[in-house]
A = this chain, B = another copy of it.
Amino acid sequence: MAPPTEVLTAERILEATEEVLRRHGPAKATVVDVARALGVSHGSVYRHFRTKAALREAVTKRWLDRTSEALAGIVAETSRDPEARLRAWLLALFEAKRHKAGDDPELFATYTTLAGENSDAVDEHLEDLTGQLAEIVRAGVEAGAFTSADPLVTARAVFQATARFHDPGYHREWQQPGVLDEFEAVVDLLVRGLRP
């Protein structure tokens, strides 16, 4: 139980929700469990998240945003050349997903279930990631390092072509030996295709 003097923020509720989801699984976790973990009434939780569905969506978004925010840092490294940034971005995405899936498989399965229920949050996340990639492609075109008639179309193609290395549906493949070589082979081909 948290000390009752601590202010109940949305972030604290989301942290507790993740913990409750980890403990009870997505099918059984309730708002009452979350309130109990925080030592507050369920009414207090509902003041921040109007429904259980809204709470589940928010915790899903938080999980997805953690990845996007880490990647945004690579997009912002404008002193690095675009090809190096593109490779680093794709590798960081793969590593983030691979670690989420491998280090805590139960929580990963939980979030995969939640992602299936919250397709709007997932669509936003994918838009966000594609937008980040488009920024790198655009920088590459401006620097004369890449060619692309439409950086957003090209970014989507790069994102889709690397799906095996970030789509949760492939998480079993990520623990196979040789998967990093496969990743390299796909990225090399795409980077070559981007060069003028």
Q: Which residues of A contact B (CB under 8 A)?
A: 153-154, 156-158, 160-164, 169, 181-182, 185-186, 188-194
Asked whether A185 and B157 contact (CB < 8 A) given A190-B190, A191-B193, the answer is yes
**A186 B164 Cβ-Cβ under 8 A:** no
**A186 B169 Cβ-Cβ under 8 A:** no
Say how far A168's CB is from chain B's closest CB, in angstroms.
Answer: 10
Secondary structure call for the A interface: helix
Partner of A185, one of B154, B182, B191: B154
| CB-CB nearest in chain B for A158 | B189
Instruction: Tell me the complex Cα distance, A190–B158, Å.
Output: 10
Instruction: Tell me the complex Cα distance, A27–B191, Å.
Output: 45
Residues on B with beta carbons closer than 8 Å to the beta carbon of A154: 185, 189
Instruction: Tell me the complex Cα distance, A195–B192, Å.
Output: 9
Say how far A164's CB is from chain B's closest CB, in angstroms.
Answer: 5
Say how far A129's CB is from chain B's closest CB, in angstroms.
Answer: 15
16 contacts between A and B (CB under 8 A): A153-B181, A154-B185, A156-B185, A157-B182, A157-B185, A157-B186, A157-B189, A158-B189, A161-B164, A161-B186, A163-B164, A188-B193, A189-B193, A192-B192, A192-B193, A192-B194
Residues on B with beta carbons closer than 8 Å to the beta carbon of A169: 169
Instruction: Tell me the complex Cα distance, A160–B161, Å.
Output: 7
Residues on B with beta carbons closer than 8 Å to the beta carbon of A157: 182, 185-186, 188-189
Partner of A193, one of B156, B181, B190: B190
